[in-house]
Structure 1
Amino acid sequence: MRRTLVAVVAMAVITPVALVACGKDGGKQGSSAWVATPSAGADPSAGTGTDKETESATVPVSLALTPATGKTGVPLSTEIGLKLAGGKVTEVTLKDEKGAVVPGKLRDDGTAWVPGKTLSPKQKYSATVVVTAGDGQTTTQTTSFTTMGKPGKKTGTGLYLFDDRTYGVAMPVVVEFSPGIKKADRAAVQRRMFVSTSPAQPGVWSWTPNGSQAYYRGPEFWKPGTTLAVRIAVGGLPTGGGRYGDRDRSATAKIGRSFEMKVDNASKKMTVMQDGKTIKTMPVSLGKKSTPSVSGVMVVMEKKEQTVFDTTDTDGADGYVTDIEFAQRITWSGQYLHSAPWSVGAQGRRNVSHGCVNVSPGNARWLFERTLIGDPITVKGTEEKLGYGDGWTPWDKPWAEFVKGSALPVPASLK
């Protein structure tokens, strides 16, 4: 039996998501708005460029720019490509045909300068690049080009992150694409997905098999107090099949305190830890054998103080409509942590739910008042394993497996 929740996850979305409670069917990965970064986690659009301070002043400066002067039909995501020897880039200025300056930054590897916004269609742009040699002498070079018209076919994008929000330590950066990005096109898209963390922490992008989602995370949960700055710069970017990214997406958010929930089917108990210390334990009832809870590392994706689980659409005459309090979604397929006054007698003793984590009304309220979107909940010892992509699941893969999903080479130090 499955229940359909009359609510949607708070996010920037492409299309609404059907919510199915406490069951395995009918769920889908939600849509949202997105952003891109390099596979190692640095923000290419926030890079400082190549620093060749030690290069000899006797090396002649050689600089080639792209797009070439006079180039037309240039994608709206175009970067100023820099093939440089004998110096370092000290200034890049990009202007539109009215003379307005377009902001932007060098990639960390110095191979290109990335505009800070999607360029306008059918617009002529001029770029001026200044290179300083080791002896202090400067060389200036220019190029001009014209962008293409407004793209006809687009790839929808979404980003599950919002400005000025505070998230749990397991909050991954989640980007969605509709339709999904094929393998051959993922590297180019990933190069336009930028993430920076303060304090600095390593991270890698990893794609789901169908290319509909990309997750960004580090080897460990984020440090409490971390600031995440994300830009998915895919507006006007060729994404394959004659499609172009619909728009740029960006967000800057905070990571809060460490708060973890660990559920053990053997003991039928949840252990709650904050900042590494156990602060509470409580009895639970998990899914019965016919509708088992899944085992794995999940993340709180949505919170509803009051909602309705409706299974009549999926279970027909066997379905039901039930008011639910303090519901916290942990999978797309319909598993939740929620108040279950009807199963209090079974909690801590036996499993009677339709896959959800049942707790008492008092414990459900206590948790609801303390959790954040992005807090981790780990369930172990049940009959069924969490499916990858059934929710925000990047933490359910060992790091060595997770990094294999990157479309770009991963530095040896991060493998």
Structure 2
Amino acid sequence: MVGVRRSLVMVVVAAVLAPLALSGCGDNKKSGAASAAWVGNGASASAAPDASQGASQGPITESANVPIELTVTPAAGKKDVPTSAEIGFQVSGGKVTTVALKDAAGKDVSGALREDGSTWVPAKTLKAKTTYAASVTATTDSGLSKTATTTFTTMGAPGKKTGTGLYLFDGNTYGVAMPVVVEFSPGIKKADRAAVEKRMFVTTTPAQPGVWSWTSSGTQAYYRAKEYWQTGTTLKVRIAVGGVPTGGGRYGDRDRAATAKIGRDLEMKVDNATKKMTVTQDGKVVRTALVSLGRKSKPSVSGAMVVMDKLAETVFDTTDTDGAAGYKTKIQYAQRITWSGQYVHSAPWSVGSQGRTNVSHGCVNVSPSNARWLFDNTLIGDPVTVTGTGSKLAYGDGWTAWNVSWSEFVKGSALPVPDSLK
């Protein structure tokens, strides 16, 4: 998980490098728009360069007296290199100005320099069982240069993979509380998270530095800034974990990427004391709705949640978990806010209790007209905050990135977090 915004400096291959910014009331199953983002164990690959790969000293473009020391990784002739390999280099007496990578057919491979200039990252996972040739040129202030080259061969398709999912769709518009959510199956153990997080890149326009934070199980990682995203923000995400060693002999199944927008600032706040929801847009109250929350035996949770899924019509079926005590009911205008099955939804049967008494199985019940208005006006990623129920939201039960303080959130990063972001 990235302890700070990890971006890539995009460069034209073989060109000069210029550092640019590179059991509730519903079911407890993942469904709809959220689960549709999940893609199971596919095939592909990516990984971070290993120090054990050694270094290759190539020819120089000037005389042997050029005052530059330059080594490149992976080492010359290295085999079984992960398909996520980055071109690494150690340089003194100058700075790297050109990186070029070609495949076995001599075709240029595009890529980007990390923001800190430490390595060059291919724009896509490399092909399996393929030989690549890389060259890196460093130049002094006076214009002298030295070039080091290397060739290496990537590994074959791994036998075991870690499935991945990115809950962000290319071209979609989301609410201001939409975290970047990445899912792993099986979960990533603590010892392996840093290497994986280092390959998860987020760029925000306008810039809003953020941090990655992992759930305790390692099955999800969230990326957010200190405050909600600014309206109009563009999120550009690349989860470049294809082929990255993820522990236990597994490798990430594939790279994933999306570019999405953040829309208007619409927030829903539910107060159990008043049994009322207040909806604001850009700071102004635009709707109020009476609610009925979870009864004493099935309490609603209090916490900062996010709309994860929207279903115009669905069926809540709890018979598989509650047996004879369960129920199967058609529901309209359902908006999921937890994995455990709590929703905001239309409940015509509880209109008489809304604003007065809690009678639901944990969901936020609203009238049909209010439910329809909410459904028509909300986005995935809009924040829903519930207070006063006495039952706390569990971290990871939904997209809970906002349910902890910023100081607590950054503790979940697997990489060091700069003091400026703590």
Q: TM-score range by the shorter chain?
A: 0.7 to 0.9
- Cα offset for 1:129? 1.1
Q: Deviations over 1:298-342 (max 9, x none)?
A: 000000011111222222223222111100000000000000111
Q: Is 2:11 the counterpart of 1:4?
A: no
Decide whether the 8 Å contact of 1:287 with 1:357 is kept in 2.
yes
- Cα offset for 1:14? 3.6
2-structure distance, mates of 1:315, 1:214: 30
2-structure distance, mates of 1:104, 1:138: 22
1-structure distance, mates of 2:312, 2:344: 12
Q: Is 2:35 the counterpart of 1:13?
A: no
Cα distance change of structure 1 residues 241 and 158 upon mapping to structure 2, 3 Å threshold: same
Whichever residue aligns with residue 12 of structure 1, its letter is A
Decide whether the 8 Å contact of 2:301 with 2:391 is kept in 1.
yes
Q: Is 2:400 the counterpart of 1:393?
A: yes
Q: Is 2:317 the counterpart of 1:335?
A: no
Cα distance change of structure 1 residues 180 and 269 upon mapping to structure 2, 3 Å threshold: same
Q: Is 2:92 the counterpart of 1:85?
A: yes
Q: How does 1:175-254 map to 2 (within 5 A)?
A: 175-254=182-261
2-structure distance, mates of 1:60, 1:411: 34
Q: TM (normalized to structure 1)?
A: 0.88
2-structure distance, mates of 1:281, 1:94: 58
Equivalent of residue 149 in structure 2, options 142, 154, 157: 142
2-structure distance, mates of 1:155, 1:86: 41
1:171 is matched with 178
1:155 is matched with 162
Q: Deviations over 1:142-201 (max 9, x none)?
A: 111111111111111110001000000000000011111111111000000000000010
- Cα offset for 1:102? 0.9
Q: Deviations over 1:315-371 (max 9, x none)?
A: 222322211110000000000000011111111111110000000000000110000
Decide whether the 8 Å contact of 2:270 with 2:387 is kept in 1.
yes
Q: Deviations over 1:36-80 (max 9, x none)?
A: 9xxxxxxxxxxxxxxxxxxxxx99322111001111111111100
Decide whether the 8 Å contact of 2:66 with 2:144 is kept in 1.
no
1:348 is matched with 355
Decide whether the 8 Å contact of 1:263 with 1:377 is kept in 2.
yes
1:384 is matched with 391
Cα distance change of structure 1 residues 201 and 91 upon mapping to structure 2, 3 Å threshold: same
1:294 is matched with 301
1:44 is matched with none
Q: Which ranges in structure 1 are unaligned for 5 or more consecutive residues?
A: 16-30, 37-57
Cα distance change of structure 1 residues 5 and 152 upon mapping to structure 2, 3 Å threshold: closer
Decide whether the 8 Å contact of 1:33 with 1:176 is kept in 2.
no
Equivalent of residue 129 in structure 1, options 118, 133, 136: 136
SS in 1 for 2:32: coil
Decide whether the 8 Å contact of 1:89 with 1:130 is kept in 2.
yes
Q: How does 1:399-414 map to 2 (within 5 A)?
A: 399-414=406-421
2-structure distance, mates of 1:129, 1:248: 25
2-structure distance, mates of 1:143, 1:282: 66
Whichever residue aligns with residue 123 of structure 2, its letter is G
Decide whether the 8 Å contact of 1:168 with 1:375 is kept in 2.
yes
Matched positions, count: 380
- Cα offset for 1:122? 1.0
Q: What do you get for the CA RMSD once the two structures are aligned?
A: 2.2
2-structure distance, mates of 1:59, 1:170: 53
Report % sequence identity: 69
Equivalent of residue 359 in structure 1, options 351, 366, 375: 366
2-structure distance, mates of 1:233, 1:312: 40
Q: Deviations over 1:81-108 (max 9, x none)?
A: 1212222222111001111111100011
Whichever residue aligns with residue 9 of structure 1, its letter is G
1-structure distance, mates of 2:250, 2:400: 28
Q: Which range moves more in the overlay, 76-85 or 310-319?
A: 310-319
2-structure distance, mates of 1:7, 1:141: 50
SS in 1 for 2:377: coil
SS in 2 for 1:347: coil
2-structure distance, mates of 1:13, 1:394: 19
Whichever residue aligns with residue 281 of structure 2, its letter is Q
Whichever residue aligns with residue 113 of structure 2, its letter is L
Decide whether the 8 Å contact of 1:300 with 1:329 is kept in 2.
yes
Cα distance change of structure 1 residues 163 and 380 upon mapping to structure 2, 3 Å threshold: same
Cα distance change of structure 1 residues 72 and 35 upon mapping to structure 2, 3 Å threshold: closer
